[in-house]
């Protein structure tokens, strides 16, 4: 595995250490942010964090990162399509 060294302010490191393993927390933050930005898939994020895809989707959802990402226009079109299915 590749290694990256970070210079963190002592206060930040102290907070991270009080919450758990700083290395794991930083890894999770990076993976979650890449997923939130749409740079990696939920499957890749799950793999990087060593969890199942479903576990990752539930975990990221608890953190407020949505699984479905629709623009208002896309959501409207999707709802119209679903309403059309119900009429058939």
Its pTM stands at 0.75
Secondary structure (DSSP) of the chain: ---------HHHHHHHHHHS-HHHHHHHHHHHHHHHTTSS-HHHHHHHHTS-HHHHHHHHHHTT--SS---HHHHHHHHHHHHHHHH-
pLDDT tens-digit series, residues 26-82: 999 999 999 999 999 999 999 999 999 999 999 999 999 988 877 788 888 888 888
* Mean pLDDT along residues 1-16: 91
Give residue 50's pLDDT.
97
pLDDT of 16 over the 70 cut: yes
Which residue did the predictor score with more confidence, 74 or 24?
Answer: 24
């Amino acid at each position: 595995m590749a290694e990256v060294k970070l210079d963190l302010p002592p206060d930040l490191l102290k907070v991270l250490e009080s919450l758990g393993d700083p290395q794991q927390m930083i890894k999770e933050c990076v993976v979650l942010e890449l997923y939130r930005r749409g740079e990696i898939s939920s499957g890749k994020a799950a793999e990087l964090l060593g969890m199942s895809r479903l576990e990752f989707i539930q975990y990221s959802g608890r953190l407020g990162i949505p699984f479905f990402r629709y623009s208002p226009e896309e959501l409207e079109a999707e709802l119209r399509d679903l309403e059309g299915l119900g009429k058939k």
